[in-house]
């Protein structure tokens, strides 16, 4: 029987054919971890009596959850991170001002390429699926990977999605993506890899591909990845000298389900509180007052997202009583946004730029909400407390809808401003 792309990647890592359902211990090509966990994994390793990593050349640390220390405790944690990186001889360390959001810049820098297998301390490593790599989140067991080189996984099944049709004006991949995960449902997505292909893939760039690979996690998917195509080849070749192969699932591979999904959505979609799957058309929540807004995160912090936000914000002013934070996810995206004049558009509209990284989405340590406030943003999740306080309501939407709502002072259909 044929293999899925995921089975092929894991078979290559294991050096033998593996199929869905097998429990294996694959050694990742790369392991990533963010700034907030470094001190903790160091303690966990010391508690286990381990003072050398299995392979420090395969480890990447990024300072993205709290890039700008705002108090002496944070500054001290950053100092400790630098010391720990040095102690273990970790090869890839991207401190503040060097990389940005760790689920994105390794692709920009050509470090993550098609067919790679990556484990990470953070759920949204699945973004690497944008270039056809398999990123699997591990969280608590990362010290085991650092010490022993691997951790158990069950080879996941794959849900294949063929994208068809095209986006209508005012709709973005974020609208489609958050609607699609609800349409597929948690029972189907649970512990599955979502694999995207189909005729409309050619129209979707880096930012949209990351969004597609980011959202399914919120519904229990194990990972998501995009079948490599001409876009992938061009993107990766322009950024990496490493040889890579662009595998596809075999025609007779066994999928858990196969979907055709039309991009031709008719209304922008908003995930209302309290969960990312509480997705409704924007008209259902239109008029809700907005106090806090944010554009960025690993779901929507790309240059395409910045361009979409600027389309709405250019020449307009943010409503009194709304604060809008914009976080280009990486140094590269921030530089591009500057060169294209987007940052000027944002600042003139009254938005606040923050350092490349996760922005407020990383638990609201930066720019949180106050109790009783409503936020609309492009972050990944909207659980109570996600932006600092449980006593606030978080709505998730596209950069167009967030920018439009920041101008209107209430949730609004962005087509009014296009």
Partner 1 sequence: MDFVYQGKCWKFGDNLAVDADLTKKEFASSRETRLEVLREFVMCGVDPDFHKKAKPHDIVVAGRRFAQGNPHIQGLLGLKSLDLGFVCETIPRGSYRNAINAGVPFMTKCWGVPDQCETGDDLRVDFAKGTFENLTRGTRVRYEPIPNVLLEKIAIGGWEKTVALRIATMRAQGLMKPTKAVAASA
Shortest Cβ 361–partner 1 spacing (Å): 11
Q: Are 190 and 160 in contact (CB under 8 A)?
A: no
Nearer to partner 1, 79 or 152 (CB): 152
Answer for which of 187, 241, 252, 320 binds partner 1 (CB under 8 A) is 187
Residues 188 to 207 in contact with partner 1, rule: CB under 8 A: 190-191
Nearest residue to 383 via CA among 278, 233, 243? 278
Answer for which of 26, 106, 129, 143 binds partner 1 (CB under 8 A) is 143
Q: Is residue 174 a contact point for partner 1 (CB under 8 A)?
A: no
Answer for which of 80, 317, 390, 416 binds partner 1 (CB under 8 A) is 390
Answer for which of 275, 314, 316, 415 binds partner 1 (CB under 8 A) is 275
Shortest Cβ 191–partner 1 spacing (Å): 5
Answer for which of 90, 381, 394, 404 binds partner 1 (CB under 8 A) is 381
Q: Is residue 409 a contact point for partner 1 (CB under 8 A)?
A: no
Q: Is residue 71 a contact point for partner 1 (CB under 8 A)?
A: no
3-state secondary structure labels for all residues of the chain? CECCHHHHHHHHHHCCCCCCCCEECCCCCEEEEECCCHHHHHHHHHHCCCCCCCCHHHEEEECCCCCCCCCHHHHHHHHHHHHHHHHHCCCEEECCCCCECCCCHHHHCCCCCCCCEEEEECHHHHHHHHHCCEEEECHHHHHHHHHHCCCCEECCEEEEEEEECCCCCCCCHHHHHHHHHHHHCHHHHCCEEEEEECCCHHHCCHHHHHHHHHHHHHHCCCEEEECCCHHHHHHHHCCCCCCCCCCCCCCCECCCEEEEEECCCCCCEEECCCCCCCEEEHHHHCCCECCEEEECHHHHCCHHHHHHHHHHHCCCCCCCCCEEEECCCEHHHHHHHHHCCHHHHHHHHCCEECCCCCHHHCCCCCCCCCCCCEEEECCCCCCCCCCCCCCCEEEECCHHHHHHHHHHCECCCHHHHC
Q: Is residue 371 a contact point for partner 1 (CB under 8 A)?
A: no
DSSP 8-state code for residue 120? E
Answer for which of 47, 241, 252, 320 binds partner 1 (CB under 8 A) is 47
Rounded-to-5 percentages of helix, strand, coil across the chain: 40, 20, 45
DSSP 8-state code for residue 100? B
Nearer to partner 1, 387 or 408 (CB): 387
Answer for which of 22, 51, 83, 230 binds partner 1 (CB under 8 A) is 51
Q: Is residue 363 a contact point for partner 1 (CB under 8 A)?
A: yes
Q: Is residue 14 a contact point for partner 1 (CB under 8 A)?
A: no
Interface region with partner 1, contact rule CB under 8 A, candidates 144-152, 208-216, 229-237, 399-407? 144-152
Angle formed by the axes of helices 38-47 and 72-88, to 10°? 50
Nearer to partner 1, 187 or 320 (CB): 187
Nearer to partner 1, 51 or 183 (CB): 51
Q: Is residue 23 a contact point for partner 1 (CB under 8 A)?
A: yes
Nearest residue to 98 via CA among 257, 375, 334? 334
Answer for which of 49, 72, 321, 371 binds partner 1 (CB under 8 A) is 49
Backbone angles phi, psi at 242, to 5 degrees: -65, 140
Answer for which of 19, 68, 147, 167 binds partner 1 (CB under 8 A) is 147
Give the count of residues interacting with partner 1 (CB under 8 A): 33
Shortest Cβ 355–partner 1 spacing (Å): 19
Nearer to partner 1, 13 or 361 (CB): 361
Shortest Cβ 292–partner 1 spacing (Å): 18
Interface region with partner 1, contact rule CB under 8 A, candidates 182-190, 203-211, 226-234, 336-344? 182-190
Q: Is residue 55 a contact point for partner 1 (CB under 8 A)?
A: no
Shortest Cβ 383–partner 1 spacing (Å): 5
CA gap 243, 345 in Å, rounded: 40
Q: Is residue 56 a contact point for partner 1 (CB under 8 A)?
A: no
Shortest Cβ 119–partner 1 spacing (Å): 13
**Token reading at 156:** 């996941």
Q: Which residues bind partner 1 (CB under 8 A)?
A: 23, 36-37, 40, 47-52, 54, 123, 137, 139-141, 143-144, 147-148, 186-187, 190-191, 220, 222, 275, 363, 381, 383-385, 390
């Amino acid at each position: 029987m044929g293999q899925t792309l995921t089975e092929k990647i894991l078979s290559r890592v294991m050096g033998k054919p593996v199929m869905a359902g097998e429990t294996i211990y694959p050694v990742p090509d790369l392991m990533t971890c963010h700034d907030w966990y470094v001190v903790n994994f160091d303690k966990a390793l010391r508690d286990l009596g381990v003072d050398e990593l299995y392979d420090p050349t395969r480890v990447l640390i990024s300072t993205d959850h709290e890039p700008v220390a705002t108090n002496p405790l944070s500054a001290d944690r950053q100092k400790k991170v630098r010391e720990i990186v040095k102690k273990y001889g970790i090869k890839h360390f991207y401190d503040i001002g060097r990389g940005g959001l760790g689920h994105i810049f390794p692709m920009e820098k050509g470090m993550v390429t098609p067919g790679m297998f990556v484990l990470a301390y953070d759920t949204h490593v699945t973004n690497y699926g944008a270039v056809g790599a398999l990123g699997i989140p591990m969280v608590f067991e990362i010290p085991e990977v650092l010490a022993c080189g691997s951790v158990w996984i069950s080879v996941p099944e794959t849900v294949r999605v063929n994208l068809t049709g095209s986006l209508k004006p005012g709709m973005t991949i974020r609208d489609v993506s958050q609607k699609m995960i609800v349409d597929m449902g948690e029972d189907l997505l649970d512990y599955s890899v979502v694999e995207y292909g189909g005729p409309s893939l050619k129209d979707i760039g880096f930012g949209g591909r990351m969004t597609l690979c980011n959202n399914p996690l919120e519904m229990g998917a194990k990972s998501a990845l995009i079948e490599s195509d001409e876009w992938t080849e061009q993107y990766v070749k322009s950024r990496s000298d490493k040889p890579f192969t662009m595998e596809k699932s075999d025609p007779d591979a066994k999928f858990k389900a196969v979907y055709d999904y039309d991009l031709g959505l008719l209304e922008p979609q908003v995930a209302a509180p309290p969960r990312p799957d509480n997705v409704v058309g924007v008209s259902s929540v239109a008029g809700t007052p907005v106090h806090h807004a944010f554009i960025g995160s690993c779901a929507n912090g790309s240059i395409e997202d910045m361009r979409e936000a600027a389309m709405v914000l250019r020449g307009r002013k943010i409503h009194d009583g709304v604060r809008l934070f914009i976080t280009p996810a990486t140094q590269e995206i921030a530089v591009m946004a500057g060169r294209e004049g987007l940052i000027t558009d944002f600042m003139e509209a009254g938005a606040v730029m923050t350092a490349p990284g996760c922005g407020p989405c990383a638990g609201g340590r930066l720019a949180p909400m106050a109790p009783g406030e409503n936020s609309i943003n492009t972050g990944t999740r909207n659980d109570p407390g996600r932006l600092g306080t449980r006593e606030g309501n978080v709505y998730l939407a596209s950069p167009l809808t967030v920018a439009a709502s920041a101008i209107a002072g209430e949730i609004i259909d962005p087509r009014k401003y296009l």
